[in-house]
């Protein structure tokens, strides 16, 4: 790749190398000098158990510090486990993962009906929201699979097998494919409207986003624990994520669908589209269930997100917009930038196309100089269109998952050459 012009710096004054291959030191700095010290060891709650994750925009604990939500509790188990698996962490981080794993099994798992509660009150130990949502179950399986693999804990591996089968049997739609998402505590179908979870939608709605993360969890389960019974489930999901949720006339996805996968009106979330692309490519490399011939469709998704969601002037990806039209929601959330970074680098390494390398470098420039908070730690939740940072640093949705994972995935891509040219057929 030809060397790029020097990248302009903005708020933080962090220089970004002119070639993707030279960016590993900056990625390590963001992982070990910004993300990890923000969360560890202060997130470990030795009294109530689990992780204290509620932090305001300056990193200070908030009054909701007692609430434990399955999504971010599980994400932190995965984060600490992945640190160790990738050579970025030591015994103390494996102990941190074990600490969170015990909390998941002892306090968030339903001993009567199985499955994980959506949230619990760590002060009383009682469920706060005892419904079973596929989104939450996904991150639990994702975390336990990774923890079982890195720790060698046979009981954790058996626990993952129990989870995977339970969720599939309870939630899979054998008629239309995919999964129903929300259930009562005893796994009865939810009725009426779904509120207080992901968004307000009619019961029975199937989301692109939820299915993407169940897919992600199953990839970990199949690849790390040999869960071969789930390979057909993965193959079905790969078809849904490449075909059923895509508005092909725009090469873009929308989130909400009726049970038969008829799309409901909605915007394209660019972060979800680029996240789906790299997850599908990574899943093919790890499990072989996606199909190498789908690369062309995946590139079309990324190219469409670049066309409509990329900020050509400043770098970074906007939040969302109508399919095939310019972005209308122009804030820049931390997680979308993290997913775009991984996707652009992976596609650059896989295809050798310079445009993807440029996107990677300019996204990294935006992150390092604007999204990262070098003063108080972690990444700003959102940069509003006026340039102001808004939102808390941690809660039931935000922890070290998106940005921590992005740093580790990009480092693996650069150092281990796992995604080099010729990995897949360019069809």
Lowest mean pLDDT among 9-13, 240-244, 284-288: 9-13
Q: Which region among 55-64, 87-96, 334-343 has the lowest average model confidence (pLDDT)? A: 55-64
Please say if the pLDDT value at position 294 is more than 90. yes
Per CATH, the number for 40-230 is 1.50.10.10
Of the pLDDT bands very low, low, confident and very high (cuts 50, 70, 90), residue 423 is very low
CB-based burial, 316-329: b 16+ in 10 Å, e otherwise: bbbbbbbbeeebee
Question: What angle is formed at CA 196 by the lines to CA 99 and CA 335, rounded to 5 degrees?
Answer: 60
As a whole number of Å, the end-to-end CA separation of the chain is: 22
- Which two three-digit tokens encode residue 278? 């790299």
6-39+267-427: CATH topology: Glycosyltransferase (1.50.10)
Question: Which tokens belong to 79?
Answer: 């984060």
C-alpha 217: how far from its chain's center? 10
pLDDT of residue 196: 82
DSSP class of 174: T
Q: Where are the beta strands (DSSP E) in 304-388?
A: 320-321, 332-333, 382-383
CB 336 within 8 A of CB 271: yes
What whole-number distance in Å separates Cα of residue 300 and Cα of residue 188? 39
DSSP 400-411: SHHHHHHHHHHH
Q: Does 4 score more than 50 pLDDT?
A: no
Mean pLDDT of the region 18-47 = 98
173's enclosing H/E stretch is none
> Which whole-number Å values give the CA distances from 2 to 173, 343, 353, 411, in the listed order?
49, 20, 11, 21
**pLDDT above 70 as % of the chain:** 95
Q: Is 19 a residue whose pLDDT tops 80?
A: yes
Instruction: Please choose, from the candidates 48, 101, 62, 61, the residue with its C-alpha nearest in 3D space to the C-alpha of residue 79.
Output: 101
> pLDDT digit string (tens) for 301-328?
999 999 999 999 999 999 999 999 999 9
Give 55's strand partners: 61, 394
What pLDDT is attached to residue 7? 37
DSSP state of 399: S
Can you tell me the mean pLDDT for 116-130? Answer: 96
What does pTM read for this prediction? 0.95
On whether the CB atoms of residues 236 and 230 are closer than 8 A, the answer is no
Across 197-206, 225-234, 320-329, 394-403, least confident range:
197-206
One-character DSSP codes across 92-135: HHHHHHHHHHHHIIIIIB-TTT-SB-SEEETTT--EEE--EEHH
CA-based radius of gyration for the chain = 20
Mean pLDDT of the chain: 94
Query: Fold match between 6-39+267-427 and 40-230?
Result: yes
Q: Could you tell me the sign of the dihedral formed by the alpha carbons of 56, 61, 63, 65, in that order?
A: positive
Q: Would the pLDDT of 427 be above 80? A: no
User: What digits encode the pLDDT tens for the residues 143-189?
Assistant: 999 999 999 999 999 999 999 999 999 999 999 999 999 999 999 99
Q: Where are the domains of the chain?
A: 6-39+267-427, 40-230
**Percent of the chain at pLDDT exceeding 90:** 90
Q: Are 167 and 239 in contact (CB under 8 A)?
A: no
Q: What pLDDT is recorded for position 291? A: 86
> What's the rounded Cα separation, in Å, for the pair 361 and 344?
9
Q: Scanning the structure block, which residue is given the tokens 């992945």? A: 82
Confidence of residue 63 (pLDDT cuts 50, 70, 90): confident
Q: Give the C-alpha separation, 36 to 351, whole Å.
A: 32
Residues 372, 332 contacting (CB under 8 angstroms) = no
The residue among 250, 239, 297 whose CA lies nearest residue 424 is 297
**Strands (E) located in 82-229:** 119-121, 127-129, 132-133, 182-183, 193-194, 201-202, 206-207
pLDDT at 370 over 60: yes
């Amino acid at each position: 790749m030809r060397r790029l012009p020097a990248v302009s710096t903005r708020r933080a004054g962090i220089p970004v190398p002119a070639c993707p291959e030279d960016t590993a030191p900056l990625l390590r700095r963001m992982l070990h000098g910004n993300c990890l010290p923000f969360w560890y060891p202060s997130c470990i709650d030795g009294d109530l158990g689990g992780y204290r994750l509620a932090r305001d925009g300056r990193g200070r604990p908030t009054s909701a510090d007692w609430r434990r939500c399955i999504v971010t509790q599980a994400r932190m188990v995965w984060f600490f486990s992945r640190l160790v698996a990738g050579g970025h962490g030591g015994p103390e981080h494996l102990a941190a993962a074990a600490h969170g794993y015990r909390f998941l099994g002892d306090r968030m798992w339903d001993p009567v009906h199985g499955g994980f509660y959506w949230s619990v009150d760590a002060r009383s130990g009682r469920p706060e929201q005892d419904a079973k949502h596929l989104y939450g179950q996904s991150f639990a399986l994702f975390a336990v699979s990774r923890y079982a693999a890195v720790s060698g804990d046979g009981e954790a591996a058996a626990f993952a097998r129990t989870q995977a089968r339970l969720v599939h049997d309870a939630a899979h739609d054998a008629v239309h494919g995919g999964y129903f998402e929300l259930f009562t505590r005893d796994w009865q179908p939810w009725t009426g409207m779904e509120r207080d979870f992901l968004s307000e939608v009619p019961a029975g709605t199937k989301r692109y986003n939820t299915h993407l993360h169940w897919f992600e969890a199953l990839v970990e389960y199949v690849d790390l624990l040999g869960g071969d019974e789930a390979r057909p489930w993965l193959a079905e999901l790969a078809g849904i994520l490449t075909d059923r949720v895509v508005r092909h006339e725009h090469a873009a996805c929308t989130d909400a669908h009726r049970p038969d996968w008829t799309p409901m009106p909605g915007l394209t979330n660019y972060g979800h589209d680029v996240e789906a692309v790299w997850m599908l490519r990574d899943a093919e490399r790890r499990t072989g269930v996606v199909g190498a011939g789908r690369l062309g469709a995946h590139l079309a998704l990324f190219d469409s997100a670049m066309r409509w969601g990329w900020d050509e002037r400043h770098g970074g990806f906007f939040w969302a917009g109508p399919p095939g039209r310019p972005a209308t929601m122009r804030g820049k959330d931390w997680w979308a930038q993290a997913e775009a970074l991984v996707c652009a680098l992976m596609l650059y390494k896989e295809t050798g196309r310079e445009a993807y390398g440029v996107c990677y470098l300019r996204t990294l420039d935006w992150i390092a100089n604007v999204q990262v908070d070098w003063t108080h730690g972690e990444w700003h939740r959102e940069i509003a269109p006026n340039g102001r940072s808004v939102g808390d640093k941690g809660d039931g949705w935000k922890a070290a998952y998106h940005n921590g994972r992005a740093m580790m995935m990009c480092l693996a891509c650069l150092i281990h050459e796992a995604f080099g040219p010729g990995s897949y057929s360019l069809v």
